[in-house]
Amino acid sequence: MSVFYFVAFLSIFFALMTIFTKNPVHSVLYLVITFFTFTVHYILLNAQFLAVVNFIVYMGAIMVLFLFVLMLLNLNKDTEPLKSNLVKLMGVIAGACLLLTVGGSLRVLEISQPIVMKNPDIGLVGNLGKVLFSDFLLPFEISSILLLTAMVGAVLLAKNEPKKA
């Protein structure tokens, strides 16, 4: 249980570092570390499939895209517009609402006994595949057709048509 609390502390720490770091590249790197701590949480919760998907998709693909976008934007202090006091006030109000919500949810949350799963194999990939291909076969196939249609549409939209002379 102490590993869970240590990783939870690291998650919160690196999430705050993501927010408060001035350099956007460092902020993205802290976000990668935060996602890694989420992967450790998934492993501790016996959800290996979610851990692998989080590791590959979020840490691998999306964070690389964030880094490329930040490098292509070429942000510097001269081109960044000054934020008005209204935007700062709205940010403070939104942060206060978030803290109020988190405080209220923590006040309601009472855990007197440790949580024990009835089925410890619930997060394994094999069990997920059995449920996916038995109970949810039709929605799975419909979503695959929808994704295939979107991919074909994206290819057709990106295709350059030859100009007629």
Query: Out of 7-11, 14-18, 52-56, 105-109, which region has the weakest mean confidence (pLDDT)?
Result: 105-109
Please state the rounded mean pLDDT for residues 10-34: 88
Neighbour-count burial of 31, counting CB atoms closer than 10 A to its CB (0-12 exposed, 13-18 middle, 19+ buried): buried
Measured CA to CA, the distance from residue 72 to residue 88 in angstroms comes to 27
Where helices occur in the chain by DSSP H, the ranges are: 2-20, 24-44, 48-53, 63-73, 85-108, 125-134, 137-158
Neighbour-count burial of 34, counting CB atoms closer than 10 A to its CB (0-12 exposed, 13-18 middle, 19+ buried): buried
The CA angle 79-61-50, to the nearest 5 degrees, is 130
Determine if the pTM surpasses 0.85.
Answer: no
pLDDT of residue 79 exceeding 60, the answer is no
Q: Single out the residue of 33, 27, 36 nearest to residue 55, CA to CA.
A: 36
pLDDT of residue 75 exceeding 70, the answer is no
Chain segment 87-138, per-residue pLDDT in tens: 778 888 998 998 998 888 877 776 666 667 677 667 677 877 888 888 889 9
- What's the alpha-carbon Rg for the chain, to the nearest Å? 22
Chain segment 40-71, per-residue pLDDT in tens: 998 888 888 888 888 888 877 777 777 777 77
**What confidence score (pLDDT) does residue 161 get?**
72
Long-range Cβ pairs for the range 93-96 (8 Å, 24+)? none
